[in-house]
Structure 1
Amino acid sequence: MQFEPGAFAGELVSQMGTAGPERVDLFRHLAEKCTAQRAKVSMQVDGNSVAPDAPESWPENWRRVEIGLSKSPAMVNTESSEDNNAELQLWTRRFTGLVFALVPVEETSQSLIENAEGLPEGSVLRVEVNRYERSRINRAACIEIHGAVCKACDFSFAEAYGPVGEGFIHVHHVTPVSMLGPDYTVNPCTDLVPLCANCHAIAHRRTPPFTLDEIRALRQGG
C-alpha cells in the first residue's frame, strides 16, 4: 500500500510536515506496531528516505512525501475468503491510521435542534459540532496501539464471543471530555484506553472517573 499526494497537494504535504507532537508520536507508535508484526513501513520526504520511528530526524518544510506499508508474507487462507478479507481489512486499517495520523483532519457532525429559541414553531436549526472527542481515527488508533483487550480486567470480547467480538472494545477517555478545552488534540497513546463495557461503566461511576489502578483495586475488593 502506498500513499503519495499529487502535484496539487502542496499545502496538505506542508501541514503533514508540521503535524503536532501528539500526531507525530501517534504515527511513530503505529509504525512500531506494524514493524513488530513483521510489516515494513517506508517513508520518503522530498525524495529522501527517513526513519518512520525516528521523527526527530525528519526534515522541515516538506514538499513531497511518500508513505508505504508492505506485509509479506500475508496470513492468507486459500480456503476461507472471510480470513482473507479480515487480513486485508486489518492492514488497510493500519495503513489508513498511519496516513491520517499526520494528515490534518477535523471530524464534524451535524445536529438538528427542533423549535430552537427565537425561531418559528416547528422550525429546525442545523448545528455543526466539532467531534474531536469521538474521532473514529483516534478510536481506531487507540485499539491498534493498546489492543482490543480491557486494560483493567483483561477481558476480551473475541475470546468470549468468537469472531463477532473480534476487535470490539470500548474506548475510554482518561481525562473526561468535559474537561478538555476546545483546542485540545487527543493523543490516542496517552489520552485513550480500551476498557470492557463493565469496567467502562464503573470508571464513570465517579467524577472524575476512576483510574485503571483504582478499578483493578475495586475488582480485588480493595
Structure 2
Amino acid sequence: MLAAKQSFILREVEEGTGAAIGLEEDRSAMQTGLRLWFADLPRSHSPIVTLRPVGLNRFRATLTFGNFAADTIGQMNRADAEEVQLARALVASVAHSADVRFTADQSLETWRIHDGSFALSAEKRKIAGRFEEDALAVTCRELVIPILAAMAELYGYDPVEEQVTPAGEVEGELSISTIRRRERNPRNRLLALRIHGERCQVCGFNSECHYPGVSSIIEVHHIQPLSLLGEPRAYDPSTDLIPLCPNCHRAVHTKRPLPWSPDELRAMYHD
C-alpha cells in the first residue's frame, strides 16, 4: 500500500527538505518500504532513509549510507558548528513523537557521522489510518523529512548568497539585496515549526484550527535579519526564528531597517 503513495510522499519530502529526492521501492522485508536519497548523488554515494510499515500501526524510518558514500561523509564531516547544531536539532525534533535509536554509543545531543557504519532509526507508533494521505503527511514531517533535512544541512546544498533585484525598482527604486541561505532555506521553516509549533507567536492564530483541511499558512520570521548582522554569530533556531501568521509577519516588517520585535508587536496588537 505504501508503494501506491510514492508520488505523494516524494512531493512532501522534496518540499520539506528543499532538495531533489530519489525514490524507489524496497522489497527486502515482509512489508514493502520506500528508499529515499538525494537525487543529485548516486544512491550508493548518498545517505538513504528507508520508510517501512511495521506491525499493524507503526512506521519506522532508518538512516543508512550507500556503500560508496565515503566522499559524501567526508564532506559532511567538514560541516561547520552551526550546520552541525542545526542538524542535531532537526534529529532531536524527531524524538518528540518517535523513538530514536543510534548505532554504537551515539546520543541525541552529540551524534556525529564518522563513517559509513553510522545508522539511526526512528519509530512512530499507534498511527491511525497510517496509509491515508493525512497520516502519511504527518509521518513524513515527523520522521523522514527531519532526518533527510539534517543530512542536507550537513552536506550543504544551498548557495551561501544570491543577488536579487527587489520589486521596488518598479517605482524607480533600483537596488540590489543580498539574500543569504538561512533566509530562504525551507529547512528553517521545518525546524522553527518543530520547535515552536504552528501558532503565531504574536496573535495566537492557528491555521489548522481556523481553516481545517487547508495546508499550513504560518510563516517563519527571523527576529534579527541576517543581512543586518555586522559579524557572524552562532545561530540558535530556538531563539532566532519564530512562527508568525501572514498578517503579523507583514506588520512586523513595516518598520525598517530593523523590524518590530515580537514584544513590541504584541504590545500594539488588539483582538
Normalising to structure 1: TM-score of the pair? 0.71
Percent identity of the aligned residues?
A: 28
Cα distance in 2 for residues equivalent to 1:179 and 1:112: 16
Structure 1 residues 60-98: Cα deviation after superposition (integer angstroms, max 9, x where no partner): xx23353423224141226x7233322333232233233
The correspondence for 1:87, drawn from 130, 138, 148, is: 138
CA distance in 2, matches of 1:212, 1:174: 8
Distance 1:158 1:194, change over 3 A: same
Aligned twin of 1:99: 151
Deviation, 1:50, is 0.5
Match of 2:55 in 1: none
CA distance in 1 between counterparts of 2:120 and 2:206 reads: 31
Q: Is 2:87 the counterpart of 1:27? A: yes
- The residue number in structure 1 matching 2:30 is none
Match of residue 77 from structure 1: 129
* Alignment map for 1:1-222 (pairs within 5 Å): 1-37=61-97, 39-44=98-103, 48-55=104-111, 58=112, 62-64=114-116, 66-77=118-129, 81-90=132-141, 91-107=143-159, 131-165=181-215, 167-180=216-229, 187-207=236-256, 208-219=258-269
Q: Which has the higher contact order (CA 8 A, sep 6+)?
A: 1
CA contact (8 A) 1:2 1:68 kept: yes
Deviation of residue 40 (structure 1)? 2.2
CA distance in structure 1 between the aligned counterparts of 2:235 and 2:155, rounded to whole angstroms = 14
In the alignment, is the contact (CA less than 8 A) between 2:180 and 2:227 conserved in 1? no
Does the 8 Å contact 2:199/2:205 carry over to 1? yes
Q: Deviations over 1:127-176 (max 9, x none)?
A: xx8644201122222222222211122210111111214x4311111122
Name the SS of the counterpart of 1:36 in structure 2.
coil
Distance 1:27 1:131 in 2: 15
Check whether the contact 1:170–1:195 (CA below 8 A) recurs between aligned residues: yes
Q: Is the 8 A contact 1:150 1:169 kept in 2?
A: yes
Checking the alignment, whether the CA contact within 8 Å between 2:86 and 2:237 is kept in structure 1 is yes
- Determine the C-alpha separation between the residues in 2 that align with 1:12 and 1:181: 33
Closer, same or farther: CA 50–131 of 1 in aligned 2, 3 Å: closer
3-state SS of the aligned residue for 1:70?
strand
Relative to structure 1, the CA distance from residue 25 to residue 131 in structure 2 (aligned partners, 3 Å threshold; closer, same or farther) is closer
How many residues of Structure 1 are paired with residues of Structure 2 in the alignment? 196
Q: Contact (CA 8 Å) 1:30, 1:94: kept in 2 or not? A: yes
Structure 1, 148-157 or 82-91: larger mean CA deviation: 82-91
| 2:87 counterpart letter in structure 1 | F
In structure 1, C-alpha distance between the alignment counterparts of 2:203 and 2:135, rounded to whole Å = 31
- The DSSP-based 3-state class of the residue aligned with 1:210 is coil
Amino acid at match of 1:49: D
Q: Take 2:227 and 2:180, find their aligned partners in 1: how far apart are those partners? A: 13
Q: Deviations over 1:15-65 (max 9, x none)?
A: 32343222222233333322232x122334xxx33002235xx58xx2335
Query: For the structure 1 residues 142 and 102, does the alpha-carbon distance in structure 2 shift closer, same or farther, using more than 3 Å as the test?
Result: same
**Aligned partner of 1:66: which letter?**
F
Structure 2: distance between partners of 1:7 and 1:193: 39
